């Protein structure tokens, strides 16, 4: 055919074919995102403290281990919360979606834990969450932020700020900043209400009357997920002391499955109903009649 024998024509046609693909997959999305139509009114720019925290996050390379985007896949949504919307990233320059999940995704982290949890976790992740290989960042508590430098960054990014916010930075540490940043992640849109807990079948304890030895095998579930806030032996800490005997099985299930995020108790629906029931039985019956403490 003519275009196979004419190298110049082939070159021109091949270039056109590649350009069409490039325009569709790259240029158009660039034109679509970060436009008025894409923006979400409740998504606000970073405050000076949050911006400073974001810069610490970038400097420390947290995105080498953590992604910041929940994909629209059932497994992702069940584990982390509502999938990410492009309009949530309009103030992220550059964005920090990442590509590696050595640790969990952080896009919906804001409001999941109280500040106090983060201070303890950042101080010594492995000592706080058994099996964690996240490095300790205790040194961030020893470094203070420079308000004048932050002011310049806010101006360069054209983010609104007040003088009070800048003077309020005096004495704040990089730890305060990164925790303020983490509490903002994914919390600008009211997704928790949108993903309001779907209840898993009827609430019937599948392990009613289980013996002590079986429950012992579930202890690791409690240690990994709950001990950091409720203590190794239910004695309390960040969260209240747990008196299993005083709580109904179904109430326990609902508290653990849905959490009480506004009061600092995270939801554990991502574990699945079976594991939550195991934890319910462990919390309610493990100590009773045994000298475990
Ligand atoms: C070497 C990889 C690695 C690096 C680097 C890292 N993390 Fe992690 N992170 C993890 C792992 C693994 C976990 C899960 C265990 C845990 O909670 O400690 C985790 C958990 C977390 C959690 C708890 C998330 C949740 O939903 O329970 C937060 C918050 C977090 N990391 C923040 C950070 C921040 C901020 C930085 C940077 C200052 C950072 N991480 C750096 C590996 C890492
Ligand atoms: C980040 C800290 C944190 C973690 C982790 C956590 N909780 Fe909680 N939990 C809390 C807080 C804070 C409250 C109090 C909530 C409130 O006042 O409404 C609470 C409340 C509860 C309650 C209600 C107590 C009562 O007497 O009303 C139960 C039961 C409970 N948690 C069980 C668990 C279990 C089981 C786990 C592990 C699967 C767990 N929690 C993990 C912080 C936590």
Sign of CA dihedral 112, 115, 119, 120: negative
pLDDT of residue 236: 93
pLDDT tens digits, 46-96 = 999 999 999 999 999 999 999 999 998 888 888 888 889 888 998 998 999
Question: Residue 85: exposed, middle, or buried by beta-carbon count in 10 A (0-12, 13-18, 19+)?
Answer: middle
Does residue 111's CB lie within 6 angstroms of at least one atom of ligand 1? no
Residue 158: half-sphere exposure toward Cβ, Cα within 13 Å: 3
Asked if pLDDT for residue 125 goes beyond 90, the answer is: yes
Among the bound ligands, the one closest to the CA of 183: 1
> Percentage of the chain surpassing pLDDT 90?
58
Between 187 and 291, where is the model more confident? Answer: 187
Name the closest-CA residue to atom 12, ligand 1. 103
For residue 172, what are the CA distances in angstroms to 44, 73, 138, 156?
A: 22, 38, 15, 21
pLDDT of residue 53: 97
Among the bound ligands, the one closest to the CA of 137: 1
Q: Which two tokens stand for residue 78?
A: 């069940």
Does residue 260's CB lie within 6 angstroms of at least one atom of ligand 2? yes
Contacts of 248-252 with CB under 8 Å at 24 or more apart are 249/203, 249/205, 249/280, 249/284, 250/203, 252/280, 252/283, 252/284
Q: Which of 136, 82, 87, 138 is nearest to 107 (CA)?
A: 82
Once rounded to an integer, what is the mean pLDDT over residues 25-29? 82
Atom number in ligand 2 closest to CA 221: 38
Q: How confident is the model at residue 201 (pLDDT cuts 50, 70, 90)?
A: low
Does residue 22's CB lie within 6 angstroms of at least one atom of ligand 1? no
Among the bound ligands, the one closest to the CA of 105: 1
Does residue 62's CB lie within 6 angstroms of at least one atom of ligand 1? yes
Report the C-alpha gap between 104 and 133 in whole angstroms.
12
Does residue 279's CB lie within 6 angstroms of at least one atom of ligand 2? yes
Residue position matching structure tokens 């916010």: 165
Once rounded to an integer, what is the mean pLDDT over residues 6-27? 90
Does residue 117's CB lie within 6 angstroms of at least one atom of ligand 1? no
pLDDT of residue 196: 47
Task: Say how many Å lie between the CA of residue 55 and the centre of ligand 1.
Answer: 16
Report the C-alpha gap between 60 and 66 in whole angstroms.
12
pLDDT of residue 193: 58
> Percentage of the chain surpassing pLDDT 70?
92
Report the C-alpha gap between 288 and 210 in whole angstroms.
12
pLDDT tens digits, 240-273 = 999 888 888 988 998 998 888 888 899 898 888 8
For residue 253, what are the CA distances in angstroms to 15, 41, 152, 278, 291?
A: 60, 36, 49, 10, 25
Report the C-alpha gap between 109 and 94 in whole angstroms.
19
Once rounded to an integer, what is the mean pLDDT over residues 212-239? 92
Does residue 179's CB lie within 6 angstroms of at least one atom of ligand 1? no
Does residue 263's CB lie within 6 angstroms of at least one atom of ligand 2? yes
């Amino acid at each position: 055919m003519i275009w196979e024998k004419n190298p110049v024509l082939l070159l021109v046609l091949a270039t056109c074919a590649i350009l069409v693909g490039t325009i569709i997959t790259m240029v158009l999305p660039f034109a679509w995102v970060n436009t008025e139509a894409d923006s979400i009114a409740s998504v606000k720019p970073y405050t000076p403290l949050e911006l400073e925290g974001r810069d610490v996050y970038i400097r420390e390379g947290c995105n080498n281990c953590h992604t910041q985007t929940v994909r629209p896949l059932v497994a992702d949504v069940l584990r982390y919360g509502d999938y990410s919307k492009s309009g949530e990233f309009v103030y992220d320059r550059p964005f920090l979606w990442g590509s590696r999940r050595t640790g969990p995704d952080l896009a919906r982290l804001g409001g999941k834990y109280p500040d106090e949890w983060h201070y303890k976790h950042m101080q010594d992740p492995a000592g706080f969450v058994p099996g964690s290989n996240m490095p300790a960042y205790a040194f961030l508590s020893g470094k203070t932020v420079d308000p004048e430098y932050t002011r310049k960054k806010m101006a360069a990014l054209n983010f609104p700020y007040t003088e009070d916010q800048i003077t309020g930075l005096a004495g704040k540490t990089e730890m305060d900043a990164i925790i303020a940043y983490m509490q903002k992640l994914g919390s600008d849109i009211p997704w928790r209400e949108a993903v309001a807990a779907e209840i898993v079948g009827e609430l019937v304890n599948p392990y009613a009357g289980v013996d002590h030895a079986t429950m012992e095998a579930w202890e690791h579930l409690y240690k990994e997920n709950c001990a950091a806030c409720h203590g190794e032996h239910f004695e309390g800490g960040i969260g209240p002391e747990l008196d299993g005997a005083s709580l109904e099985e179904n109430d326990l299930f609902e508290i653990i499955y849905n959490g009480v995020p506004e009061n600092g108790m995270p939801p554990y629906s991502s574990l699945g109903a079976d594991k939550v029931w195991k934890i319910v039985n462990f919390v309610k019956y493990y100590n009773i009649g045994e000298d475990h403490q």
